[in-house]
Amino acid sequence: MVYCAKFRKNCAKKWKRVTTSKWTILFAITRILIFIIISVFQLVIFVRNLLYFVNIASDDSCLNDIIKNYGAFDLMHVVYVCLENLLCVLFQFFQMYFGFNALFHEQSFQLIAIVVFDLGWALYGIGQPLTMKYFRDRFDKITTCHLVDHDLTFRYYDIPYTVIYFVLALISTFISFKLYQQFGWNIYKKIGADLEIKKLYMKRLVSTTLLKYELYFFLLFLMLNGIRWIDLYDDDPTAKAYWNYHSFESILVFFVALLAYQSIRLEWKIGMYIFFVLWITYILDAILVVGASALVHWYFLTFWALLFIILALATIVYGFMLMKGFGKGLKKFFVKSSAKPTSPGEEEASIETQTEDQSNFNPTKKMTIEDDD
């Protein structure tokens, strides 16, 4: 009964956050709509691309001529695009979760990250059909492939998808800006105008947000490269060694991320140093992914691995900057003497509980927690 009461209280609290203002409601609706609409488009495009691959693979003459003229890598790129379609769906689910997490915990920097990745993925919508068109045109040059039935009509799916995604991303950007002002005001009411505390809080937001995205990138994108090595496991000692290393890293990643969150929350310097050392091993893993994916010209995975490396290095840099502020007063806003350790993504719960009874957002105020005035 106690757990049921806590669950109901937690749900009521989250619902209150969603319905706080018209902007919180619009933001929640927009995140759900983006997930549904973009996922439907990507699944339709996935089926189309998969059928194209199946039709080619089922025609022995066409398949053999493609391998003879271009090699197996060209055909595998069609499979890679299919995987990218599915990854986009999973990424949209993560963006929706990340959006609601920002809404529940009033994470202003997460709003910025959501907007950046929405716009970035919308831009990728231009490159995806161009990749399929490139390989379709190459395959069409082979006489035996002329009889292969395929329908890659981009104007019915890919172009509307890109346009709609851009429109939704721009709408989300505008709403996120309004929420950014609202969240900044709410945090300001609790922390106040102390410039040093404001800077420390901003560094904390940046560090935890980067870590959340890195965790997602490693689990979803970088693990693809490890899966790609499974077929070589029995024949190639190098592949076997890499797969074992990658599997070990994948198992530990949750514990490493949890260590980082708790070290930041409790201002534990030793834990931060341990995290830095362990996180460097994940950067090394990502470097291997860059090399392996570039070798087979899967530049989509190469890009995400490079992005992981950049964000991971930024996390370490921000971590050192954050450590300089340990013991300067920020901890009291997040940790109470009776508080229990929080899990990744929940580190903001203490401060938002303390601000729960404060007055509502005043749109006439312009000051936000991230201002450096």
What are the tens digits of pLDDT across the range 225-258? 655 555 555 566 776 777 777 778 878 888 998 9
Q: Which pLDDT belongs to residue 60? A: 81
Cα–Cα distance measured from residue 42 to residue 151, given in angstroms and rounded to the nearest whole number = 16
Q: Which pLDDT belongs to residue 341? A: 44
Separation in Å, CA 11 to CA 8, 15, 17, 35, 95 = 5, 6, 10, 22, 20
* 201 and 113 fall within a common domain: no
Cα–Cα distance measured from residue 263 to residue 276, given in angstroms and rounded to the nearest whole number = 11
* 320 and 275 fall within a common domain: yes
Closest CA to 40 of 1, 80, 93: 93
Residue 110 class from Cβ within 10 Å (0-12 exposed, 13-18 middle, 19+ buried)? buried
* 72 and 201 fall within a common domain: no
Q: Which of 191, 226, 244 is the last residue of a domain?
A: 191
* Residue 10 in tokens: 């937690």
| pLDDT tens-place string over residues 159-207 | 889 899 999 999 999 999 988 888 876 666 666 666 677 777 777 888 8
Cα–Cα distance measured from residue 138 to residue 133, given in angstroms and rounded to the nearest whole number = 9
Is 82 among the domain residues?
A: yes
Separation in Å, CA 177 to CA 22, 109, 368 = 13, 11, 11
4 φ/ψ angles, rounded to the nearest 5 degrees: -65, -40
Q: Which pLDDT belongs to residue 166? A: 92
371 in helix, strand or coil?
Answer: coil
Domain with 162 in it: 15-191
* 164 and 244 fall within a common domain: no
Q: Which pLDDT belongs to residue 246? A: 76
Cα–Cα distance measured from residue 333 to residue 353, given in angstroms and rounded to the nearest whole number = 10
* 184 and 301 fall within a common domain: no
Those residues with Cβ within 8 angstroms of residue 355's Cβ, 6 or more apart along the chain or in another chain: 106, 186, 187, 189, 190
Amino acid at 318: Y
Is 32 among the domain residues?
A: yes
* 151 and 201 fall within a common domain: no
Is 56 among the domain residues?
A: yes
Is 359 among the domain residues?
A: no
Those residues with Cβ within 8 angstroms of residue 30's Cβ, 6 or more apart along the chain or in another chain: 168, 171, 172, 175
Is 81 among the domain residues?
A: yes
* 151 and 260 fall within a common domain: no
Q: Which pLDDT belongs to residue 332? A: 65
Q: Which pLDDT belongs to residue 170? A: 93
pTM listed for this prediction: 0.77
Q: Which pLDDT belongs to residue 33? A: 95
Write out residues in the chain with pLDDT < 70, as ranges. Answer: 1-2, 146-153, 185-195, 221-236, 239, 329-373
* Residue 361 in tokens: 């957002």
Amino acid at 42: Q
Q: Percent helix, strand, coil in the chain (nearest 5)?
A: 80, 0, 20
Is 215 among the domain residues?
A: yes
**340: which DSSP letter?**
P
Q: At what angle do helices 60-69 and 72-105 cross, to 10 degrees?
A: 90
Is 352 among the domain residues?
A: no
Is 270 among the domain residues?
A: yes
* 217 and 254 fall within a common domain: yes
Domain count of the fold of the chain: 2
Q: Which of 191, 219, 249 is the last residue of a domain?
A: 191
* 177 and 321 fall within a common domain: no
Q: Which of 136, 164, 191 is the last residue of a domain?
A: 191
Q: Which pLDDT belongs to residue 350? A: 45
Q: How many other CB atoms are found less than 10 A from the CB of residue 340? A: 6
* Residue 43 in tokens: 């699944």
Cα–Cα distance measured from residue 88 to residue 245, given in angstroms and rounded to the nearest whole number = 27
* 331 and 214 fall within a common domain: yes
* 257 and 332 fall within a common domain: yes
* 224 and 106 fall within a common domain: no
Cα–Cα distance measured from residue 301 to residue 297, given in angstroms and rounded to the nearest whole number = 9
